[in-house]
Every structure is written in structure tokens, then in C-alpha cells.
A and B are shown apart, each in its own frame.
Chain A
Amino acid sequence: MKILTGNDLKTGAVTWWTGYDWSLHVEDAIDAGAEAESIAAREEAARRVNAPYVIAGERTEKGVRPAHIKDRIRALGPTVRPDLTLKPADPEAGNWVI
């Protein structure tokens, strides 16, 4: 699957394309398929995301994950600081979409 990622312009936070908006949580990422590049261009032009790009993703038991380790660390936070990792069980889960 192809998933789309970028950064929030104001905060720099890593974000993921949900099909209609951008989420902080990789679990919300959808397969953007053949449209991925054009969505990236459209969203960047509309200033809803900074520096978006398309990466390979895969479905796992824990939900969608990037295929490559670099993007997985990018999605989940530094492996050496678990306290800084964005938690899927965040009580603000209902407000994931920014």
C-alpha cells in the first residue's frame, strides 16, 4: 500500500493522510493508491501539509505501519525515548485529526 506523510507546517509534527485530512497517528493512514502523488501536490499547494511524500506501507496487527524502519521510527517516535512516543491510546484520540 502507498501511504502519504508530511509535517504540520506550524508544529513540524509528523502527519498522515487519512483520506480527507491529516492525522498525527499513523494508524489513521489509508492506502492512497495511484492518487498519492497528486494528493500530495494538492495538499501542499493548499498549505495543509509541509513537504509531503509517498512511502510504502503495510498492514500489521497494530494497524498501518510504514514499511521502512526510518519511516516507522518517524511514525512512532525515537526508540530511545518511549516517553516521547505518541500513544495510540491517547485520551485525545477523538481529536487525532488536526
Chain B
Amino acid sequence: MYRYDTYDQQMVDTRVAEFRDQVARRLAGKITEDQFKPLRLMNGLYLQLHAYMLRVAIPYGTLDSRQMHALADIADKYDRGYGHFTTRQNIQYNWIKLAEAPDILADLAAVEMHAIQTSGNCIRNISSDHFAGAAADEVVDPRPYAELLRQWSSFHPEFTALPRKFKIAVIASETDRAAMKLHDIGIRMVRNDAGEIGAQFWVGGGMGRTPMIAPCINEFVPVDSLVTYCEAALRVYNRHGRRDNKYKARIKILVHELGADEYRRQVEEEFAHLQAQGIEPPLAELERISAFFADPPFEKDLPRGVDRSDPDFALWVDTNTVPHKVPGYVAAVISLKPVGGIPGDATSDQMRLMADLARAYSFDEMRVTHTQNIALPHVRQADLYTLWKKLDEAGLGTANLDQAGDIIACPGLDYCSLANARSIPVAQKLSERLAPNAAELGELKIKISGCINACGHHHAGHIGILGVDRKGTENYQLLLGGSEAEDTSLAKIVGPGFDEAGIVDAVETATGVYLAQRTKGERFLDTYRRIGIEPFKEALYG
């Protein structure tokens, strides 16, 4: 994985010193909260419902055991012994003290991490496929390209004050494990007929109050123009994005209002202009970066298969591991969704265990998934049973990947000052209610947001739930038919909302419709697409 060079480290260290001075001035009363707020947000420090919240970037979700141990230590030393992994492959701490924030950033810098650009109207953490470098179906490892874009976008002077926040995802497979088309820019690395690597650009996707699926703006941008094309796409947005209206300021609105063809025309015009300026970094830099992502020393001719005599283990293998590009290995996903648990939360002890297991069994690598789990990308099948036993003892062995219990939920009203309703209790109740039938229900992606900002990706849930404030009480809308995968679709609201108990019943009712109507091999989403929303409406509202 990538290691900071002198420039990276110096930039991060300098930012820590700068923020330490800003915090000192704020605590001394030399600057007001209005003056300080944009400065702390540039360093990922929010003032949330109960306290300051720090969001730490985990570039493309990749981290090693040294970094995970540091995250655990921060949870113990500065927070309350746990952290929350997010849908953008970051981690958040909920109980931070302002006076200690610079020390946290210094601890992060010591392990090549930071919280820069995890807030504000700038280019946020670049996300990617959590199975990058391991997936059997990828054209190329997308992470070197994500890292190149991370370096380009970090402290980019032109893009520190965009009309709104800006999220980029980079993948390299037909299978989309990063919700690529629901990003401001989604990039899929592809190979053309000549065998050359290039980037397919999907621009103007997003969730939030106006969900949109990104249209394809360019089928193939040569890899030696990747940064330049990104710069052109951002520059057109920065020039014409709706700064007059926060709710219309995301690039999806611009692309929608201009139309994909006109937006593409303007980007191409800007691209031609930029090409003449020679802003693209030399390919040698990409090659330097790529060297950090070389395959680990995989063993050849490993025995395949596992001993399935322990049925709980066999179930976990079937559910939580996926094929690897190298025979004898798998990628294993550690569920942070125990039945009745808080999706995405991990205690410091669990973080340390995952770190130690990654070091022992996965070439010292972990990935934060956008579904709020932790993946070990390279595990020998022969090590799986030992690995699972250790996970299970720590409450991390739940077998529910992509099933009803693998629920995405934002922090909701339990933590977030923007939320209108709680998400976590609904997720807990649903995972308990549906657990007995989870295997029967098969792939079922439930996603819950506590407000219209859609951090819980409710628009992309096979079953989505949106919490709203209805005259001072929590109310939940049910949506059906969304997908964040390669078959991206936006879920539709079924009808009037429910209270907390009612939404749990409603989801169960919807799954009942599916079980009654499905044909052989159909997932919930397939059945919904075939029969439409009416049978669900009928069952829910009569």
C-alpha cells in the first residue's frame, strides 16, 4: 500500500501545526466560532449533537495494522473506546474534545493519516472497490489511480471552495462495489480494444435530496490524461455550479440542467485548453505510485477449499468470503453488523483484533467497505477456520454479508445534528426481526438514512428507509427498488410513512410479498423489478 513520501508527510505535519495554532487562538478567544468553524471543518472536526465529531480519512478504504492500531488507540485515549466506520470508507469519533484535536491529528500524522478534506466544499476522500487488488474480475488495481487523484486533489488551490462537496469513486470492474454511479464523479478503469488502460467517466450522480444516476460523459479517457480530464470536469463545475442555492449546488444539478451533452461539450473544450498547458503529471509518477500496490507475495499452488464440518463456519464461508484472483485465497469480510448491533461501530479492542488478524492472515491489509464492514482482502483458504474462530470469539463472526442483517445506517438522530429521526434503533430492530429468515431472504440490501441527506444511502437500498420529522415525531418512509451496484437504480417511495414499530412491520411485510411472489433464483430486487410496486402497496396499505 502507498507510503507517504517527504512531501506528503511535510504537508500533513504542517497542517497539524497550523491547526494547533488555530485551536489555541480559538480557545484563547482570539477568533470567534464563525471564524473558526471553516478552519475546523477543513480538518474534519464537526460540532455534532453531543460533542465535537472527528472524521478521519481512510484513502480508498485501505489501511494496515499499524494504522488500525492507531485508530484504536485514539478511540481509547481521546474518545470513548469505539469508532464508527462510514459509507465513504472513513471513521468517525463522536466524543472529541477541541483542546485535544491537534494531538489526535498529530497521532494520525505519525501513521500517515489525516482528517483533511473530510468536510467542507472540497474534493473529499477518494473511495474505491474494497476488493481492489484482490477481485478476480478487475481490469487493473484501481487504487494507484485513486491515489494519483488523492494527491492531485489534496490542497488543490482551485478546488478548496467549490459550490458544494465533491465525491469521487474509482473502480476497475464491471461489478460495482463502490456505488460508482452515485458519486459526483465515478471512474471505471477499463481496457480498450487495443489493450490500453483508460478511464470511463460518469459525472453527476449522487443521493441526497435530489438523487441522480450519473450519465457517462466519456467512454475512454487515456490514462495519461486522467488528471487533466478530472481537472476539466471540476473546472466546468466550479465555474457554473449553483453557489446561489445550497440545495442546487451539487454537480448533479449542473449536469442535469445543462444536459449531459452540453456538459460534455464544455468539459471537452476545457480539456483541450488544459492539455495545451501540460498539467498532467508524468507517467513516471503513476508508475512510482503503482509500485506501492504491487501484489503481495502470494503463494502458488495452494490447496483449495475448506473443511466444512463446522456448520457455523461453513455458513460464514459461504456468506462472507468472495473469490480471489489467486487460487487458494479469498477475500473475507468481517461484519460490523452483529444481530441487534450498531452498524459500523467497532470497539477499540475489536479494531486491534482486526489489525492483528490482518497482519497474521492478510498481508497486513484491511479495507473499510462502503457498507460499513471491514474486508481482509487476501486470506489463504487454509487460514479461514482459525481466522473465523478468533473473529467469532470477539463478536465479529456474524455471517450476513449482503443479507438482511447487513444494514447500512447513518448515525441518525442519536448522534447527528442534521438528522430528523433515528436510524440505528430501526436497524437494530430490523436485524433482530429478520435474522431468523435472513438465509431464506438471500441478498437483501437494506439502507437507512435519518434525513434527506441520505448518508445511509436509502435511495440505493433494495429496501430503503428515510427518517423524517413529522410534526415533531419520528416518521419513516419506505422505499423499494434501489441498487448501488452495476445495475444502479433509485428506490421509489411506496406510500405514507410509519412510526418506528410500523416501519419494522412494513419491511417484514415487504419481504413477505417477495417470498410469496419470487421465482426460482430471484433476489428481492429482481422480484420487485418484475412485479412492480403495486403488490407491495397492496400488502402494506390494503
Contact = CB atoms under 8 A, between A and B. Distances in A.
14 contacts: A7-B47, A10-B97, A11-B99, A12-B51, A13-B50, A67-B472, A69-B472, A69-B474, A73-B413, A73-B422, A74-B50, A78-B50, A78-B424, A79-B425
A11 B414 contact: no
B414 A80 contact: yes
Interface string A76-97: 0111110010000000000000
Interface in B10-51: 26-27, 29, 33, 47, 49-51
Contacts, number: 66
B100 to A, nearest CB: 9
A23 interface: no
A67 B419 CA distance: 16
Nearest to B28: A47
Contacts of A78: 50, 414-415, 424
B96 interface: yes
A78 B424 CA distance: 10
A79 B414 contact: yes
Interface size class of B (residues with CB under 8 A): 20 to 34
Interface in A37-82: 44, 47, 50-51, 67-70, 73-74, 77-81
Contacts of A51: 33, 47
Contacts of B50: 12-14, 74, 77-78
A1 interface: no
Interface of B: 26-27, 29, 33, 47, 49-52, 80, 95-99, 342, 413-415, 417, 419-420, 422, 424-425, 428, 472-474
Contact of B49 (A10, A47, A70): A70
A79 B411 CA distance: 11
A11 B97 contact: yes
B449 to A, nearest CB: 16
A10 B414 contact: no
A59 to B, nearest CB: 18
A80 B426 CA distance: 10
Nearest to A74: B49
A12 B414 contact: no
Given A73-B413, A73-B414, A13 B29 contact: no
Nearest to A72: B413
Nearest to B23: A10
Contacts of B417: 70
A12 B97 contact: yes
A11 B415 CA distance: 16
A84 B80 contact: yes
Contacts of B474: 69
Contacts of B29: 47
Contacts of A13: 50-51
Contact of A12 (B47, B419, B424): B47
Contact of A68 (B96, B99, B472): B472
B2 to A, nearest CB: 33
A7 B51 CA distance: 7
